[in-house]
Amino acid sequence: MGQRIVFPNAPRITAVSTIAGTKECEGILGSYVETPLSDDMFGESTFEKAECKMLSHVIDGAISNAGLTRGQVDMIVSGDLLNQIISASFAARDFSVPFLGVYGACSTMAESLAVAAAFVNAGYCKRVVAATGSHFASAERQYRYPLELGCTRPPQAQWTVTGAGASLVADKGEGVRIVSATLGKVVDFGVTDVNNMGAAMAPAAADTILAHFRETGEEPEAYDLIVTGDLGALGSRILKDLTWEKGLDISANHVDCGEIVYNVLEDEFQGGSGAGCSAVVLNSYLYAKMMAGTLRRILFVATGALLSTVSSGQGESIPCIAHAVTLER
Amino acid sequence: MGQRIVFPNAPRITAVSTIAGTKECEGILGSYVETPLSDDMFGESTFEKAECKMLSHVIDGAISNAGLTRGQVDMIVSGDLLNQIISASFAARDFSVPFLGVYGACSTMAESLAVAAAFVNAGYCKRVVAATGSHFASAERQYRYPLELGCTRPPQAQWTVTGAGASLVADKGEGVRIVSATLGKVVDFGVTDVNNMGAAMAPAAADTILAHFRETGEEPEAYDLIVTGDLGALGSRILKDLTWEKGLDISANHVDCGEIVYNVLEDEFQGGSGAGCSAVVLNSYLYAKMMAGTLRRILFVATGALLSTVSSGQGESIPCIAHAVTLER
C-alpha cells in the first residue's frame, strides 16, 4: 500500500506549546518559544526530572491553549530519548488520560503526530496530544560521557536541544491540517561514528522523502519548506546530495531544524539535535509562520538514530528512521 | 470518548509465530511454541543480539505462516524492554517495511496489537505485524545485576521470559478477530520495590479492566478468559482483590500469562514476566485454543512497568500501564 497514509478528514493542530532552555532561546527561537527557561534545571533536582517536567508543562500548555481541560483529551502520544522513555511515562502519570508510548528517537515528533492524526482521522479520538522533548544534560550522560568529565567534542558533533514541544491534534477547529503521514523504514548505511548522527540519519531522511515524492507524484516546489528534524549542517548537505543523486532536487526549499535552532556558535558545531529540536522548532517558529500564512504547506520530516550505548558497544552500526507529515494551512 | 476504541471492520490475526527459550519450553508452552530453542543464545555472541534475532525470527515467521512475503506487509509495530528498543529497531532493519516503534514495557504486545488493529480497521494498512519479545539475560543485566554476580532473588521476584511472539493483523482472512482496544492510563500506586512488579502493575491492570467493563456494560462471564500479561502469582491475587473491591469479580475466569508460562519451580518465584511473556503465551497457547474453538472470546490485558534504573535510582515510584484488546473467534 506504499508508505503514505492519507487523512481525508484532515485532523488539525489547533494548539501548540513549547518550552526551551537558555541557550536555545538565544537564537531565532527566543521570540517564538512560549516558555523560555532562565534555569535549565526548571527548579528540579536532576536533569531527568527537569526533562520530564518540561514535557508535562507543554502537554498542559497545549491543552490549555486549546481552551480545554485535561479531562477533554482522549489520548496522549509521546516518547523521548531516555531509557524506557521515562520522561513521557512519568509526564503521563500526571494526566488521567489514555497513553500510547512511542519510541522513534529524534523522529518522535513526526511519529507521534502521525499516530495522533491517524487516530483522530479514523474517529477513534477527538483530541490527542502529541509531544516530545529532550534535555542536553540528560542525553549527554546517558548516551555519551558525564558532563563533569569535560570531554572535547569532535567537529561532526551536534548539541542536544533542551526543550519540549506539544501539538494538540483535534477533529475540528482552526489550525494547521495534517494531510498525510509517510511512515519511514529503518535504514542503515553502516555509519558507526556515534558523534556523526547527521551522516547516519541523512540516508533515512532521503529514503522517506524519496518515497513521499514517488507516491504523491509531486515536485519539491509543491512545498514552501521541506523541513528535516535534526540532521545538522553536515547531515543536511548529505541529504541534499543523496536526493539529488536520485533525481530529486530539494536544495531550494530544504531547511533543517538543527541548523536553525542555535545562533551559530563554535561549540554546537553541526547544530542542534535531540527529540526536542524538531519538537520546539515545529511547535513554535513553524507553527507561528503557518498560522500567519507566511508558510502554507510544509513537509515535516523528523529523523531518528535508533542506536543505544549497548548496540554501539557491541560494534553495531546505527540504524535510522524518518517519518514525514504533510502540514497545510 | 472513553478509553475503548471499537474496530467494526474486525481486523484479524491471521497468522502467528513464537519462539521461546529452553526453560520456557519445559512448561505447558513447550508443545505450543513454534520454535523451541535448545540454546538461549540462538547462535549469537551476546544476549542482546539473541533477543533481536528472536524478534526478527518471529516477524518473519508470522509473515511466512500467513503465506506472504516481506514485501506484502505494510507496517511493523514493535518494541521491547531494552534501552532505545534496540531489539525491535535492529530487527526492523532486516525488513524493508515501514516501522512504528512503540514502548509500553511488558504491555507492548497489547499496545502493538491495538495500534496494528487501529491502522488496519481504518484502511491505512492491509497487513501489519505486531511483535515483541524479551530475553532473561539481557533484562537482568540492564535492569538488575550482572548474572555473574549470582544475586539472590527475593520471593516477590519474577523471571523474565526468554522468547518472542508476533501476530500478523490483516483486513481479511481466517483468524482471531480484534474487536476493540481499551487503552490504559498511567497508574502509580507508589510501589518502589523494583523486585515487586506484580504489586506495581496490578493497579494499572485493575484500572483498565474496570474501564473496559464500565464502558461495555458487560459482565466478566462474557469472556472465556480475562488474561493479564505478567502480573505473576502475587500480582494476580492483588488484581482480583482490587477489582472485587470495586464490585467486579473476575476470579472465575482470570488467568495470568506469568503464572502459566513456567512449570512451578522454586527459582521463578512469582512466575514469568517481560514483554515476551504475554507475547509468547498469546501467540502460541491462546491463539491455538482460539483457533480450535476451545476459547471463543478473551480479554487480553498486557501490563507494563514504566520504570528505568535511573528513575528508581532517583527515588521515583513505579508508574504502570495496561492496555486491553478483545479477541473473538
Average pLDDT value for chain A:
96
Tell me whether domains B4-170 and B176-328 share a fold: yes
- Which residues, other chains included, contact B30 with Cβ-Cβ below 8 Å and sequence gap of 6+? B24, B36
pLDDT digits (tens, 9 = 90+) for B41-96: 999 999 999 999 999 999 999 999 999 999 999 999 999 999 999 999 999 999 99
8 Å CB contact between B97 and B121: no
Confidence check: pLDDT of B268 > 80: no
A80: phi then psi, degrees, rounded to nearest 5: -155, -170
- Write a three-state SS string for A153-171: CCCCCCEECCEEEEEEEEC
Single pTM value for the model: 0.97
Rounded alpha-carbon distances, angstroms, from residue B266 to B152, B153, B158, B163, B261? 12, 11, 11, 20, 14
Asked if the C-beta of A72 comes within 8 angstroms of chain B's C-beta atoms, the answer is: no
C-alpha cell at B59: 516477524
Spatial distance between the Cα atoms of B299 and B286, rounded to a whole number of angstroms: 11
* pLDDT < 50 stretches in chain A: none
Q: Are strands A35-36 and A99-101 parallel, antiparallel or unpaired?
A: unpaired
- List, in sequence order, every residue forming a beta bridge with B106; answer none if it has no partner: none
8 Å CB contact between B257 and B274: no
Within the 85-144 window of chain A, which residues sit less than 8 Å (CB to CB) from chain B? 85-86, 89-90, 92-93, 95-105, 111, 115, 118-119, 121-122, 124-126, 142
* Domain A4-170 CATH superfamily: Stage V sporulation protein AD (3.40.47.40)
Q: Letter for the amino acid at B50?
A: A
| Record: contact B98-A124, CB cut-off 8 A | no
Indicate the domain borders of chain B. Answer: 4-170, 176-328
8 Å CB contact between A67 and B161: no
pLDDT digits (tens, 9 = 90+) for A31-42: 999 999 999 999
User: Considering the domain B176-328, what is its CATH architecture?
Assistant: 3-Layer(aba) Sandwich (3.40)
8 Å CB contact between A228 and A107: no
Measured between its terminal Cα atoms, the distance across chain A in Å is 27
8 Å CB contact between B128 and B120: yes
Rounded alpha-carbon distances, angstroms, from residue A139 to A110, A135, A142, A239, A277? 20, 6, 5, 25, 13
pLDDT of residue A262: 87
Which of A3, A84, A121 is the closest to B103 by Cβ?
A84
Which one of B89, B126, B179, B214 makes the best mutation probe of the A interface by having the most chain A beta carbons within 10 Å? B89
Spatial distance between the Cα atoms of A126 and B272, rounded to a whole number of angstroms: 38
pLDDT digits (tens, 9 = 90+) for B28-41: 899 999 999 999 99
C-alpha cell at B289: 485454543
